[in-house]
């Protein structure tokens, strides 16, 4: 499998090169040169396969022969060794819970898969690789946990000061070892811009790669959730609509890749907070990124989502074709809190702010007869403890893995400019 830059000004690379480079030299995102649909018989009988078998079939063409079959199977097995249940809330709505991994967030899958792939590729390399990643919330903790102690890999995480939850911050600033957190005075887009600039800076002496969803090894494994959900639902529901809380749009783009592989998903809804660059694009057909705004659903506080260009590519940049399979709506914090209350009052279910935005996406889309809507619960409610408890007037039990980090001391290095990042990387 070869990958090419969506900026079309860099030579094609192998899977391993795409993983190690993260971003193409022309600042473009890597995209597979070809996508082969899975056998129809496999999709039709998907409930006869284990999650490990499904995930292996979905990912193997994108890895090719660069990782031996037995090794890739082991990587997949270690990546998804927890549950992905669809919890029924209403007659035609369910929540796909993606928070049963080690850091209680959906990004555990991509981070664990990438860490193991990079560890394999780097096992014979005497030089260290530095994973440089920007986070608006959950990416940092998932990447830190996934790469903790991986030989030959240092991890540097940039996060916006005061704009992640306390628990999210503790998850990325308390591990030590090969993990360093840089606290940036700015917003997530500032962090992301610094990361992109570092990749193109020939004055940086380290070998850099990214663990954001711009990296193919972080982005593609997110397909797995959609296959697992479909496996649970397809015998009872023929028309499935996914509503995905969306910030950098990697998760929903992976779902649309699963659709490209043959998974019969009827429609996708990208639900955002007030950072509405894509909802506005879907109204007017004009893409105008903007500065991000802080919200209670902070993992979606992205004004220029990197992965939307991949979504457009999946539809050959045909706006009208995209509109037939994809919708996008934005919601305020007040609407989000109201949805959290309604979900709790009607279903006795505690949704985090991001999941509530996904629920609102289904409401606005307007499910038709025979359609079953699935919104993604991308993080455990405890990760947004203050907002959830204040909104619902309920105390949320704190899981044991979170209790272990709450009392740990935060360790971070404060920076404000790209020059400070560059100085740190070269030190």
Active-site positions read 107
* CB-CB contact of 117 with 75 (8 Å): yes
* CB-CB contact of 56 with 76 (8 Å): yes
Rounded Cα distance between 260 and 225, Å, is 15
Percentages of the chain per state (helix, strand, coil), in multiples of 5: 45, 15, 35
Which residue bears the tokens 């993992």? 299
Question: Which burial class, exposed, middle or buried, applies to 66 when counting CB atoms under 10 A from its CB (0-12, 13-18, 19+)?
Answer: middle
Closest CA to 74 of 59, 61, 85: 59
Question: Which burial class, exposed, middle or buried, applies to 335 when counting CB atoms under 10 A from its CB (0-12, 13-18, 19+)?
Answer: middle
Helical (H) or strand (E) element with 49: none
Rounded Cα distance between 119 and 32, Å, is 22
* CB-CB contact of 186 with 405 (8 Å): no
Rounded Cα distance between 275 and 303, Å, is 6
Rounded Cα distance between 113 and 78, Å, is 8
Closest CA to 84 of 108, 62, 120, 61: 108
Rounded Cα distance between 269 and 192, Å, is 24
**Where does 242-352 have alpha helices with state H?**
250-260, 277-284, 308-314, 319-325, 333-347
Question: Which burial class, exposed, middle or buried, applies to 317 when counting CB atoms under 10 A from its CB (0-12, 13-18, 19+)?
Answer: exposed
Report the relative pairing of strands 2-5 and 13-14 from DSSP bridges: antiparallel
Would you give the end-to-end CA distance of the chain in angstroms? 36
Tokens, residue 243? 């509503």
**Residue 96 forms beta bridges with which residues?**
86, 376
């Amino acid at each position: 499998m070869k990958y090419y830059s969506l900026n079309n000004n860099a030579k094609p690379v192998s899977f391993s090169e795409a993983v190690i480079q993260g971003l193409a030299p022309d600042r473009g995102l890597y995209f597979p040169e070809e996508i082969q649909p899975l056998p129809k018989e496999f999709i039709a009988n998907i409930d006869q396969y284990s999650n490990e078998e499904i995930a292996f079939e979905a990912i193997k063409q994108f890895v090719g022969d660069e990782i031996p079959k037995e090794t890739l199977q082991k990587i997949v097995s270690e990546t998804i060794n927890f549950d992905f249940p669809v919890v029924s809330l209403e007659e035609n709505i369910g929540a796909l819970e993606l928070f049963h991994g080690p850091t209680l967030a959906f990004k555990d899958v991509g981070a664990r898969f990438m860490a193991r792939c990079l560890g394999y590729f780097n096992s014979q390399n005497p030089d260290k690789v530095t994973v440089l990643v920007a986070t608006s919330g959950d990416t940092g903790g998932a990447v830190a946990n996934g790469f903790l102690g991986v030989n030959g890999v240092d991890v540097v995480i940039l996060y916006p000061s005061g704009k992640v939850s306390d628990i999210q911050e503790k998850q990325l600033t308390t591990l030590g070892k090969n993990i360093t957190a840089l606290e940036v005075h700015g917003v997530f887009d500032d962090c992301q811009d610094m990361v992109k600039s570092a990749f193109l800076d020939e004055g940086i002496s380290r070998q850099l790669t990214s663990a954001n969803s711009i990296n193919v090894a972080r982005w593609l494994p997110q397909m797995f959730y959609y296959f697992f959900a479909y496996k649970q639902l397809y015998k009872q529901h023929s028309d499935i609509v996914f509503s995905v809380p969306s910030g950098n749009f990697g998760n929903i783009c992976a779902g649309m890749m699963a659709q490209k592989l043959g998974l019969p998903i009827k429609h996708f809804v990208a639900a955002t907070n007030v950072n509405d660059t894509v909802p506005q694009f879907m109204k007017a057909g004009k893409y105008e990124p903007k500065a991000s705004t802080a919200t209670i659903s902070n993992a979606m506080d992205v004004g220029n989502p990197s992965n939307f260009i991949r979504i457009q590519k999946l539809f050959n940049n045909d706006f009208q074709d995209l509109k037939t399979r994809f919708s996008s709506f934005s919601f305020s914090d007040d609407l989000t809190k109201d949805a959290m209350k309604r979900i709790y009052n009607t279903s006795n279910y505690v949704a985090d702010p991001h999941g509530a935005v996904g629920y609102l996406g289904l409401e606005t889309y307007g499910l038709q007869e025979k359609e079953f809507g699935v919104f993604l619960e991308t993080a455990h409610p405890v990760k947004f403890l203050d907002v959830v408890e204040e909104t619902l007037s309920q105390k949320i039990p704190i899981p044991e893995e979170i209790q272990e980090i709450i009392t740990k001391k935060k360790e971070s290095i404060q920076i404000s400019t790209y020059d400070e990042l560059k100085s740190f990387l070269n030190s």
